[in-house]
Structure 1
């Protein structure tokens, strides 16, 4: 009897909601819906403005350009889900890339060993971020702002500020830039690796205890700790795994750029955070899905690519990205105010 009363009360409350409140509830449960709608609108708008936008060749280029940001955004999502933020993503990626490329340059070291060292270094860099956050209790923003400069300087000093072109690197390091064509549509192996990253980490977050702990820590770290969740160890693990993913992103970047350069991806930090926030992951932690992050990464690159095809100046593209971030955070704040 009580269950029937509760169900009836819930149905009555639902009927009392305005259409806007119903949308708010839907977005609270499925935060990736709003970025998906925005992506569809962007595709339609750019197709109307420039019919070449939706050609197979253009879509292939768009997905290739999205690969690096999308890979970095996986690690950034893990960090933001715990109510943190990582400003060192691009620096860790570039450091890993330069160490890998320098070690393997002109056959100096076996490619597989150089790649392992580069990715391991990125993992250690992520671990260091986590150590400073969990053991010294420094704010993630301050920690990663500091390590951004540290890792950037180390990459420049180690490489001497010089780029290494693809013809000086073994095929393994350039492999993710190769691919296959489906008609005029071309996919690279880097895109395939990014898809695998999303599938694996999406499964981990949604189907494992580790993933549930990540959400619990982001929602309320102290409550999670009192419930038996090892909050500090979870945070350390999140930053470490994020570092590993940034190292893989460095490998993808070598293939995408056809070179290893210490000045690569200068906007990687902003782009990764933008992708995560636009994708519906809350900056306050505890809410979001990787599918939203992937959609967010596509939105970021779609706007950049579409505006570029329209001949819009870089300054206006940066302005568009900034507006997207502000709107996304405002929507997130609105969604968080949903009433049960």
Structure 2
């Protein structure tokens, strides 16, 4: 089993040129600073952007993302792959990034992986979920679209789940990495309750008994490692920090606070020692299929890029915003 080395980034929230996020944050400068901070990361196989790569959905923001990420990935010998988030817009994403994988029909110049496309026929529809598959260093990389147009919470629709079950029915190489913006594990901070992945249980059912070695997500704007129980397997879930800001998980109870932090996670996936038969048995910890080693890194950005405290919402403001963005009772009823 070969090793897969990933730089996992998320929530860049890029804006069209000259526009500041929430009137305060230069997202292009923040992303450039973060990439420069990873200059000494060494050789990489994969750079993953796990959603909310744009904030306004403009083609210009996706072109900026593709240029900055592509240059960085090329210097490190890596393939760049992008997933949809709730702030992304499918039309602009598809126009510039295709389905987020190399050679998917967009203007991307990334190379080094094979691509098997996305939902047959449906993918051509303007508002169809954007999914895709690449093969990198002997691993299968699958992006799933958990975005719900016009909403903040996540949901993987029945058609995607059926497609995922079909694709995952056959194992590939050393295993599969699934990239999905909304983590399939419960949130930590106040404002994220109600905008999490509504049907994490259905995703777990689709991945049960498959060769999934890790799930990579964003959305929460802070580092988090957890596991998803999928049948007898325990799949590692790696949530990486946001680029646009970093959620303060030590904020006062009921508060939602974002500070001037940025970062990402270097992930190394490799085999457990022993024979292949042993690795497929319960010898591997908690029924996992591979060793997933994470190195979360956080950087403090200069005040010229963003203020020290981006926002600090008290309980009443969190409640007001939650009423606007949280999943409705009907949407919650879909929770699996």
TM-score (norm 2): 0.24
Higher helix share: 1
TM-score (norm 1): 0.24
Q: Which has the higher contact order (CA 8 A, sep 6+)?
A: 1
Higher strand share: 2
